[in-house]
A = this chain, B = another copy of it.
Amino acid sequence: MNLFDSRFLKSGVTKERREKLLPILSAALAAVDPVAAVKRHMSLVGDELRIGERIYDLGQYRDIYVIGGGKAGGSMAKATEEILDDRLTAGVINTKYGYLAKTEIVRVNEAGHPIPDAAAVQGAKEMAGLAARASDGDLVICLISGGGSALMTLPVEGITLADIEVLTASLLRCGATINEINAIRKHLSQIKGGNLSRLAYPAEVVSLILSDVVGNPLDVIASGPTVPDSSSYAQAYDVIERYGILHEVPSSVVEHLRTGKEGIVPETPKDDDAAFAKTYNLIIASNEVAAQAAMAKAQEISFNTVLLSTFVEGEAREVAHVFSAIAKEIAHSGHPVSRPACVVTGGETTVTIRGEGKGGRNQELALAAAIQIDGLDEATIIALATDGTDGPTDAAGAIADGSTLIRARDKDLSASDYLANNDSYHFFEALGDLIITGPTNTNVNDLTFVFVF
| Residues of A bordering B, CB below 8 Å | 215, 288, 306-315, 318-322, 324-326, 328-329, 332-333, 335-336, 345, 347, 372
Contact = CB atoms under 8 A, between A and B. Distances in A.
A311 B372 CA distance: 11
B308 A314 contact: no
Nearest to A368: B314
A309 B326 contact: yes
Q: Which 3 A-B pairs have the closest CB atoms?
A: A314-B321, A318-B318, A311-B325
A445 to B, nearest CB: 12
A326 B314 contact: no
A288 B332 CA distance: 11
B215 A333 contact: no
Contacts of A288: 333
Nearest to A372: B313
A312 B322 contact: yes
Contact of A318 (B215, B307, B315): B315
A444 to B, nearest CB: 15
Given A215-B328, A325-B347, A328-B215, A335 B309 contact: yes
A308 B306 CA distance: 11
Contacts of A310: 325, 329, 332
Contacts of A308: 322, 325-326, 329, 335-336
Contact of A307 (B314, B328, B336, B372): B336
B312 A325 contact: yes
Number of copies: 2
Given A309-B336, A313-B372, A319-B319, 15 more contacts: A288-B333, A306-B336, A307-B333, A307-B335, A308-B326, A308-B329, A309-B328, A309-B335, A310-B329, A313-B321, A314-B318, A314-B319, A314-B322, A315-B318, A325-B347
B319 A321 contact: yes
A289 B329 CA distance: 14
A337 B154 CA distance: 44
A322 B319 contact: yes
Contacts of A318: 314-315, 318-319
Given A306-B336, A336-B306, A329 B315 contact: no
Contact of A312 (B215, B309, B312, B321): B321
A5 B306 CA distance: 38
A393 B322 CA distance: 26
7 contacts: A307-B335, A308-B325, A308-B326, A308-B329, A311-B328, A314-B322, A325-B347
Nearest to A177: B416
A306 B336 CA distance: 6
A315 B352 CA distance: 13
A321 B347 CA distance: 11
Contact of A309 (B320, B325, B345): B325
Contacts of A326: 308-309, 311
Nearest to A307: B335
Nearest to A216: B332
